Amino acid sequence: MKTRLYRVIPVLLLLLTLGACGPGKDPGSETGAAPAEDAAVADTVDATEPEVPSFRNYTERGDLPALAEHGVLRLLAPRGETNNALPRDGLPGSAWRQLAEKFAHSRGLDPQWVYVESFSDLVPALLEGRGDVIAINFSRTDGRAEQVAFTRPLQFVQELLVTRSDTAEGGAEPMMVAVRRGSAFARTLEAENAMVASAADPVPGAGTEAAGGTQARFDITYLDEPVNHDTLLTAVVDGEYQATVLDSNLADALLPDYPQLQASDSLDSQRAIAWAVRQDNSQLERALNEFLTSEHVVARQMEQRPLRDWAEIQSSRTLRVLTRNHPASYFMWQGELMGFDYDLLKQFARENNLRLSMVVPGPDVDLAEALESGLGDMVAASMTVTDKRREQGIEFTRYYLKVTEQLIAAEPLPESEADKPVAELLAGSEVAVNPLTSFYANLRTLAAGQEQPMKVIPVKGAATEHLIDAVVQGKYAYTIADSHLVDIERTYRRDFHVVGELPGEQEIAWGVRQDQPVLLKQLNSFLNKHYRGLFFNVTYNKYFKQSKRTRTQIAERLRSTDQLSPYDSLVREHAARSDRDWRMVVAQMYQESQFDPQARSFAGARGLMQVLPRTAGQMGISDLFVPENNIQAGVTYLDWLEDRFPRDLDFDEKIYFTLAAYNAGHGHVRDARRLAEAMGKDPDRWFGHVEEAMLKLSEPEYYRKARFGYVRGREPVNYVRQIRSRYLGYLAVARNDSGE
């Protein structure tokens, strides 16, 4: 029977949209020798160039702190699997290779690939301390799980039997199948032979036999030498073997190049693909799980989508806004999303029956380029109107703020210099700015006319507050900041001084692409309607003429993810046991209770995670007003719900379905999936698909036909969106804090 090929998690898309990390050190063997194919290349290098030292491996079995001392993350792979294979579209190995290197860089470690001779050598090399992570297309099996700790599954795949198209299964003789020794495929074939043997009475003298005398289904050829998938497939085409086995995600990428071959799911074996670490490396395991969750959630949000104008935005009912994480535009305070741009656009979305999706690329991503590539529909990030940005293709709305660009120093100027023009003050001095801001070009223009030019230092990815911090600490003499951001910073700190202004006022506006005239018209209509009106003035005063409450919120805004709630240590502990990202659990906890351990709902749910006593009782947990008990019950219930959904759902989709079920019940989510399919939508995707069907289940026409009946569909839809937005807000803070 032919099988459909399973979807691959969109890791390649993630790497394209977020910018994959560069390659790690030159790969070598475990002893540090360079691969053979590199030797010929080395002869062509000019003798005057210094040689790149080859990697010399060492033994290390420690957890993350020990790896940090070495400054290296050793990534294990079988020789021939990844180090000399040509890249191919859709092949998960190359994408996961880059993802593993990106994880290493995120922890401040240099990625180093360490190659072993075969799959059977991977686990021993890990356990002996010759590598730190098995980061390839690695199947989770019960036997392996007894020896190593696996991350959350990156993907579930089907093991497919690959034969020539003219080969029929079920012949009188066992089929000759070639697989690598020690692979999960070999275990599957051995299990199939054992099952045949146990299902039939022994028949003496029946030719090739399995245990017990019964004819085996497969004649297994075990390959010990390094061999890649293309070599095996070519051998099947040439008739050297009758068959081999491939994971369905590999078959998706490889089989189109082999029209002579066919794949079937007759093995009936589905496995999880995951990465592996040593069982006592709990910190590394937790860090990998957090990283993988965040990358998959961000990947889906960062998809480059078709460029849209107003009609398409209205049809999707979602406006995607590119922004920055800072107090004038978008920030988080105690789990609440805030900001001047954010509040204005919430009102715009409300008036136009739209949902708002804030997209925060890394701080070193040019927002004009992100807009042009389709990462968002518009830019709202306290963006200064400049000719350069117009040349990049941005069309600006009418301005909604006017600001000056102010020169910041750690100390006030002496009286003798107080009236000097900025150009004179900066002559021969260093001034640090983010090169993606308008300040950079303005300062370089100013410097061009100086006899003793200033030194403009580009600091990639730096936010205004970080540059002010650097000036206060004496790292730079000066920086530049917009006056409205300076006003915000001054409300809670007094450790810097404004010592001058660049000439002229600057206009702040929102930006769209030039092919979005209708969206531009709608935004201008909104700004014209509200500018300097009651709503605008109240919102403006909230952030720029701040009340004591808003000053506190801005001063206490989230600047790092070191502490998100008073219960972080408990959440980390229980989330790690379930292979969950603790930040997602905290985002959900705030949604449920705003971190109030004594919270009660009208339905009787209690505590931080709002768990019903009967649900907790089924888990053997009581006293739900005790934070640890409640968190344990909530995370355990999440695990139970997740297991109710198909295993082959995409990594991030399973998270959203689980959250929806936590809010509305698993039965209603099942109804919504069935309805989504009937509506021609994808029952395996939440946003824009199953969530739309969930909304329909509030209408008699639909809920009367549903097995579990009526549900207030807007509640789970908003619940999932708000938790995801909060979680993405946490991630944006983490990226901003790390200075990426």
Instruction: Please say if the pLDDT value at position 277 is more than 60.
Output: yes
Q: 127 is written with which tokens?
A: 């356990």
Q: At what angle do helices 627-642 and 568-577 cross, to 10 degrees?
A: 30
Q: What is the pLDDT of residue 548?
A: 65
Sequence letter at residue 185: F
Quick one: 11-154+276-299 is in which CATH superfamily? Periplasmic binding protein-like II (3.40.190.10)
Calculate mean pLDDT across residues 106-116.
92
Tell me: pLDDT of 686 over 90: yes
What's the pLDDT score for residue 200? Answer: 55
Is the Cα dihedral 546, 551, 555, 558 positive or negative?
negative
DSSP SS3 for 405:
strand
Q: What is the mean pLDDT of residues 93-120?
A: 86
Residue 7 has pLDDT above 60, yes or no: no
Delimit the domains of the chain by residue range.
11-154+276-299, 159-269, 304-401+508-555, 405-504, 568-737
What would the pLDDT profile of 482-539 be if each residue is shown by its tens digit?
Answer: 998 888 787 777 889 998 888 888 999 999 999 999 999 999 999 999 999 999 999 9
Q: How confident is the model at residue 5 (pLDDT cuts 50, 70, 90)?
A: very low
Which one is catalytic: 192, 592, 691, 692? 592
So what's the pLDDT on residue 550?
63
Yes or no: say if 116 and 126 are a contact pair by the CB < 8 Å rule: no
Identify the pLDDT of residue 740: 32
> pLDDT tens for residues 441-475?
888 888 777 778 888 888 887 878 888 989 999 99
Of 56-60, 225-229, 427-431, 476-480, which range is least confident?
Answer: 225-229
Evaluate if residue 15 carries a pLDDT over 60.
no
- Do the two domains 11-154+276-299 and 304-401+508-555 of this chain adopt the same fold? yes
| Token code pair at residue 297 | 């959630």
Spatial separation of the C-alpha atoms in residues 253 and 230, rounded to whole Å: 11
DSSP calls for 694-730: HHHTTSHHHHTTSTT----THHHHHHHHHHHHHHHHH
- Residue 18, φ and ψ in degrees, nearest 5: -95, -15
Q: What is the mean pLDDT of residues 230-248?
A: 88
Residue 735 above 70 pLDDT? no
Which of 543-547, 562-566, 656-660 comes out lowest in average pLDDT? 543-547
pLDDT at 201 over 80: no
Check whether 259 has a pLDDT greater than 80: yes
Mean pLDDT within 603-608 = 91
Positive/negative CA dihedral, 236, 239, 240, 243: positive
- Among 148-162, 185-199, 507-521, top mean pLDDT goes to 507-521
Between 357 and 266, the more confident residue is 357
687: amino acid identity, one letter: F
pLDDT at 166: 84
Q: Is 596 helix (H, G, I), strand (E, B) or coil?
A: coil
| 479 bridge partner residues | 408, 432
DSSP conformational letter for 64: H
Confidence (pLDDT) at 212: 46
Mean pLDDT, rounded, for 70-97: 67
Query: What is residue 88's predicted lDDT score, i.e. its pLDDT?
Result: 46
Predicted local confidence at residue 93, as pLDDT: 61
CA 459/CA 623 separation, integer angstroms: 52
Q: What percent of the chain has pLDDT over 70?
A: 84
What does the block give as tokens for 567?
């219960």
320-357 per-position pLDDT tens digit: 999 988 778 888 777 778 889 999 999 999 999 998 88
Q: Quick one: pLDDT at residue 73? A: 96
Q: Which residues pair with 455 in a beta bridge?
A: 430
pLDDT at 47 over 90: no
- In the prediction, which pLDDT does 509 show? 96
Q: Is the pLDDT of residue 267 over 50?
A: yes
Q: Is the pLDDT score of 737 beyond 60?
A: no
**Strand runs labelled E in 249-366:** 261-273, 276-278, 318-322, 331-333, 336-338, 355-359
**DSSP labels for 611-623?**
B-HHHHHHTT---
Instruction: Check residues 226 and 727 and name the one with the higher pLDDT.
Output: 727
CATH topology for the 304-401+508-555 domain: D-Maltodextrin-Binding Protein; domain 2 (3.40.190)
User: What pLDDT shows up at residue 208?
Assistant: 43
Q: What is the pLDDT of residue 584?
A: 93
- Mean pLDDT, range 5-14, rounded to an integer: 38
At residue 176, does pLDDT exceed 60?
yes
Top-tier CATH class for 159-269? alpha beta
Averaged confidence pLDDT in the chain: 82
CATH topology of domain 568-737: Lysozyme (1.10.530)
User: Is residue 641 over pLDDT 70?
Assistant: yes
* Element (DSSP H or E) covering residue 28: strand 28-29
- pLDDT, position 437: 84
Lowest average pLDDT, out of 122-136, 180-194, 664-678, goes to: 180-194
Separation between Cα atoms, residue 51 and residue 28, nearest integer Å: 14
Q: For position 736, what pLDDT does the model report?
A: 58
- The sign of the torsion formed by the CA atoms of 672, 677, 683, 689 equals negative
Tokens in use for 90?
């859709």
Which uninterrupted H or E stretch holds 148? strand 148-150
User: Does the annotation mark 592 as catalytic?
Assistant: yes
**pLDDT surpasses 60 at 375:** yes
Q: What is the mean pLDDT of residues 602-625?
A: 92
Higher pLDDT, 61 or 444: 61
Residue pLDDT, tens place only, 694-707: 999 999 999 889 88
**What is the arithmetic mean of pLDDT over 679-683?**
94
Q: Label residue 52 by pLDDT band (50, 70, 90).
A: very low
pLDDT in tens, 63-80: 999 999 999 999 998 876
In terms of C-beta distances under 8 Å and separation of at least 24 residues, what long-range contacts does 449-452 make, across chains too?
A: 449/423, 450/423, 450/426, 451/427, 452/427, 452/428
CATH 3.40.50.1000 fits 405-504, yes or no: no
Q: Say yes or no to pLDDT of 270 above 80.
A: no
Confidence of residue 199 (pLDDT cuts 50, 70, 90): low
- Tell me the average pLDDT across 113-125: 89
Question: CA-CA distance, 314 to 647, in Å (whole number)?
Answer: 34
Backbone angles phi, psi at 737, to 5 degrees: -70, -35
Residue 1 DSSP code: -
Distances (CA, A) of 238 to 185, 204, 223, 235, 553: 21, 34, 17, 5, 70
Phi/psi at 468 (nearest 5 deg)? -65, -45
- pLDDT recorded at residue 655: 92
A 10 A CB-CB count for 266 gives 17
Residue 184 has pLDDT above 90, yes or no: no
Q: How far, in whole angstroms, is CA 431 from its chain's centroid?
A: 34
Q: What pLDDT score was predicted for residue 549?
A: 64
**What is the pLDDT at residue 659?**
96
Q: What is the identity of the amino acid at 195? A: M
